[in-house]
Structure 1
Amino acid sequence: MSVLIVIPARYASSRYPGKPLAELRGATGVSRSLIERSWHAATAVSGVDRVVIATDDDRIRAASEAFGAEVVMTSSDCANGTERCAEAHATLGGGYDIVVNLQGDAPLTPHWFIESLVQGLVSAPEAEIATPVLRCDGAMLNGLLADRKAGRVGGTTAVFATDHRALYFSKEVVPFTSKTYAEAEPTPVFHHVGVYAYRPEALAAYPSWPTGPLEQLEGLEQLRFMENGRTVLCVEVEARGREFWELNNPEDVPKIESMMAKMGLE
């Protein structure tokens, strides 16, 4: 089973231009770019044959090659990370059994999230794409709710069936719950972790499908699979005491730096 990890990265983010090159200071005071930290997260995953960064920007290419990453240049016409992964896989000549999309804004993604994700897809032959979900505790849920109240997109939530087939993903906090939870108490809300594992046939078909109304409304690329009747598997992962957050807005930088400091991550 051959596995390729692609880290899609673009400079022209509407919410945070230049985000892949944003500097994050670790526990020892060492500053590294977001894209470098995401690349280190990818290279820590076991059972992976190749890791590449896919971008259309020469600034990201130069920075990535400077810290030793392999870079695949892709078109500026790619609408999202999945389309960029599809182009990168094709440019490399294909041939991988599973392609993992580790988005370049999730440097705190633990290696076991991706290892569990790949194993989940291997074990579910009916699924064409798999993605991790993490049960929120009270503290994480409160953070998501606070972001939405302030008008920020702080993360994506997922709901799924008993067989873990995805039912919906949203930038709103779903499902609704009126209960107040203690910080360490588990909640019924699952945070979607922005990583995907695709079977190559579904990945190759994805760019040819039209963007549907749900993808347009939510701005979530995985909804295109669902709107085209493809099975998306939600793989529940365990935090194991590790804090996790994605860098969506400039305001997330100190939050992520604080998490790295508490975890002792350089």
Structure 2
Amino acid sequence: MPRDLIVVPARYGSTRLPGKPLLKIAGRSLLERVVAVARKAADLAGHCDVVVATDDARIAEHASAIGAEVAMTEAKLDSGSARACAAAHARSDLPALVINLQGDAPFVSPDVVAGLLATLRDGHADVATPVYQLSWDRLDRLRQHKQTSPFSGTTCVRDKDGVALWFSKTILPAIRDEQNLRSASPMSPVWQHLGLYGYRMSALDWFAAASPSRYEQLEGLEQLRFLEGGKTIATVAVDQPTHAMSGIDTPSDLTLAEATIARLGDPFPA
């Protein structure tokens, strides 16, 4: 039986932070940190391999130096999902399940990644992705953050069974009678998305062959291609992350990441 696969897509050509996977945070490269998360998750899940997918020789060389398997993918691929699909097809045995763990997400818990594999193994969804419910304090912080960075932070609306109804860069849902809700519970009705995905190989193949959808392009959210195409996305409820950064996109994010590690401890798996 083919082993499942965690793919770490890593591009050199970030417009805002060139060479991002090779930059160091608290003495370790961003790629080394994400690969460590992937390896720990693969151990927890069992029957799973890890590969770095890149189009750049410098990243491939560094990945090999830290002992990671590398899949060279075409530079024209326009998303992490497409790169994950190409890496899966480069294997001798096509995996049934694939995790896309973006190469700029060093603070994701290995337990969360392994949980996506468990959800897909035990259920019937096409895609699985983690979400966490915001406390009112965290919601207030997200609202404030969006005043200066309106396209940073994605929220999710889900049904009673955890199936995703929609994702948006807008904070959803709008909340009537908020003051009474604040008095009734410490948790808001808003769920925030953690940007990693697990896929069935059939759904990933469909995604790679499909054109970008209307709302995907408007929101800049590739998961909307699945929803607009009638695919099912299971959301996996996880705890609010202690390290709340979702990704590293700018030089200020690097500074914030180091400050976060200094304050909360280093999540790098020993």
Q: Same fold by TM (over 0.5)?
A: yes
Work out whether residues 44 and 111 of structure 1, in 8 Å CA contact, stay in contact via their aligned partners in 2: yes
The 1:58/1:177 distance shift into structure 2, 3 A limit, reads farther
Moved more, 72-81 or 45-54: 45-54
- Partners of 1:113 and 1:52 lie apart in 2 by 18
The aligned counterpart of 1:143 is: 141
Work out whether residues 247 and 256 of structure 1, in 8 Å CA contact, stay in contact via their aligned partners in 2: no
The aligned counterpart of 2:45 is: 47
The aligned counterpart of 1:60 is: 59
- Partners of 1:244 and 1:3 lie apart in 2 by 28
Work out whether residues 45 and 117 of structure 2, in 8 Å CA contact, stay in contact via their aligned partners in 1: no
Instruction: Report the structure, 1 or 2, having the larger helix content.
Output: 2
Following superposition, the deviation at residue 152 of structure 1 comes to: 5.0
Q: Secondary structure at the match of 1:230?
A: coil
The aligned counterpart of 1:175 is: 173
Following superposition, the deviation at residue 245 of structure 1 comes to: 1.5
Task: Please provide the CA RMSD for this pair.
Answer: 2.2
The aligned counterpart of 1:104 is: 103
The aligned counterpart of 1:116 is: 115
The alignment-based identity, stated in percent, is: 37
Number of aligned residue pairs: 258
The 1:16/1:159 distance shift into structure 2, 3 A limit, reads farther
After superposition, give the CA deviation of every residue in 1:33-77 in whole Å (9 maximum; x if it has no partner). 211111111111112421111011122112222222111100111
- Partners of 1:194 and 1:205 lie apart in 2 by 20
Corresponding letter in the other structure for 2:189: P
The aligned counterpart of 1:194 is: 195
After superposition, give the CA deviation of every residue in 1:188-240 in whole Å (9 maximum; x if it has no partner). 2111111111111111221111111111111111111111111111111124x
Gaps of 5+ in 2: none
> Matches of residues 240-259 of structure 1 in structure 2 within 5 Å?
242-250=242-250, 251-259=252-260
Q: TM-score, normalised by structure 2?
A: 0.87
The aligned counterpart of 1:236 is: 237
Gaps of 5+ in 1: 26-30
Corresponding letter in the other structure for 2:153: G
The 1:188/1:16 distance shift into structure 2, 3 A limit, reads farther
